Amino acid sequence: MTHDFGGAVALVTGGASGIGAATVELLARQGARVVIADVQREAADALAGRLSSEGATVRAVPCDVRDEAAVEAAVRATVAHFGRLDIALNAAGIGGKELRTAEYAEADWARVLDVNLTGVWRCLRHQIPAMLSGGGGVIVNVASVAGLIGFPRHPAYAASKHGVVGLTRTAALEYGKKGVRINALCPGFTHTPMVQGMLDAGMPEAELAARVPVGRLAQASEIAATALWLCSPASSYLHGHALAADGGITAA
């Protein structure tokens, strides 16, 4: 499905890899001007370079969502360069250690919450005013199926993603009438470097796939297509929603 983003300006955190990178590609190919904000500077530059060489308009800015000043600078750079901010996809995230709740160390817990939850709040804190001053916009926060149901051995991750869903709903109630449409996307297991880490650590793919009603993991491009729809006018009446793109996991 194609959408015409007609020169809309998009900022994608975590856009150098996985779901974020796949969404950058679709947005750029469908006419948006895109800024990639990521800690992986080389990968972000490489993706921006490749898409620009294909005729798209893509820039990369280094940004660690744990750093409020860096987030503010990324939003400011986007508006300075392209004149406005219409779309934000907040995909920067980490998985954290695989341990049971009582085994988690506080520093590991804090790190996951800092990136996955407070990082999204820092982004909203600067993206929302930029959108308000441009007359409105659309924000998609990438949560997870672990933002809707429990995820054993990932307590910090599940808590952070449930937090993203709550933050999304709250911000949606606050800014809907002001023209900022905000939703959460909750993917299931998706082939990206993050999940590759779980597979490399010894989790057989067949075991992960067996937990999914459709019997397989998602491709990043499938999740990106859903993200794109959430960013597009095609989903104009969806607001404050947490949309599971999970192969049926939450149907159980």
Q: Where does this chain bind ligand NAI (CB under 6 A)?
A: 13-14, 16-20, 38-40, 63-66, 91-94, 115, 119, 142, 144, 187, 189-190, 192-195
Nearer to ligand NAI, 136 or 242 (CB): 242
> Do residues 158 and 148 lie in contact, with contact meaning Cβ atoms separated by under 8 Å?
no
Residue in the shown chain whose Cβ atom is closest to ligand NAI: 18
Beta carbons of 153 and 147 less than 8 angstroms apart: no
- Residues identified as active-site: 157
Q: In the complex with ligand NAI, which residue's Cβ is closer, 179 or 197?
A: 197
Best CA proximity match to 244, nearest among 154, 157, 131, 148: 148
Q: Judging by DSSP bridges, how do beta strands 218-219 and 242-245 pair with one another?
A: unpaired
What are the distances in angstroms from CA 252 to CA 49, 110, 209?
A: 43, 31, 15
Q: How far apart are CA 169 and CA 220, in angstroms?
A: 25
Distance CA 66, CA 87 (A): 21
Residue whose CB is less far from ligand NAI, 49 or 83: 49
Distance CA 156, CA 206 (A): 25
* 206: CB partners within 8 A, 6+ apart: none
Distance, CA of 51 to CA of 212 (rounded, Å): 33
Q: Please, what is the end-to-end C-alpha distance for the chain in angstroms? A: 28
Which residue, 64 or 174, is less far from ligand NAI as judged by CB? 64
Spatial CA neighbour of 61 closest among 51, 50, 70: 70
Between residues 66 and 84, which has the closer beta carbon with respect to ligand NAI? Answer: 66
